[in-house]
Amino acid sequence: MLGSKPVRFDIPNEPEQWMELTALSWKKLKKARKALQGEQIETMRAFGAELISALNKGTGEKELRKLEKRQQYHLSAFDIETLLSLGIDAWSYPETIGPETIGELDERTATWAAEQIIELTKPPDEDEQKNS
């Protein structure tokens, strides 16, 4: 798919407010993942080798691959700020969309919008493909 069209969503708990959100390309998803990975690496460095050892201890490679696949499109796999800046196309708020105003969204709305962007973007899972 090239250049997906924005989809309008009513914002929960904000009567008469809406956002138009766009599915992201693979390259934009990669950018959102990389932004988060940089933060995670810094956190792991702060904890040191003991944390990495504890995380790897007793976990088989097959289980790690299953977990990795499940987490691929989980909100925790992305930098929310990057998702929002790349996926919010329009909104009903009087303020112009930009890094500052996106940063001013309350956590509930930011999390909701990021989850909607991921849902628009991720491919259907195996069960969804069988049912279509």
pLDDT tens-digit readout, 86-126:
999 999 999 999 999 999 999 999 999 999 999 999 887 76
Record the pTM. 0.73
Taking residues 43-59, report their average pLDDT: 60
CA pair distance 114, 39, nearest whole angstrom: 18
Give the CA dihedral 25, 35, 76, 8, nearest 10 degrees: -40
Beta-bridge partner residues of 21: 7, 88
The answer for 2, left when phi > 0, alpha when psi is -120 to 50, beta otherwise, is beta
Name the more confident of 92 and 70: 92
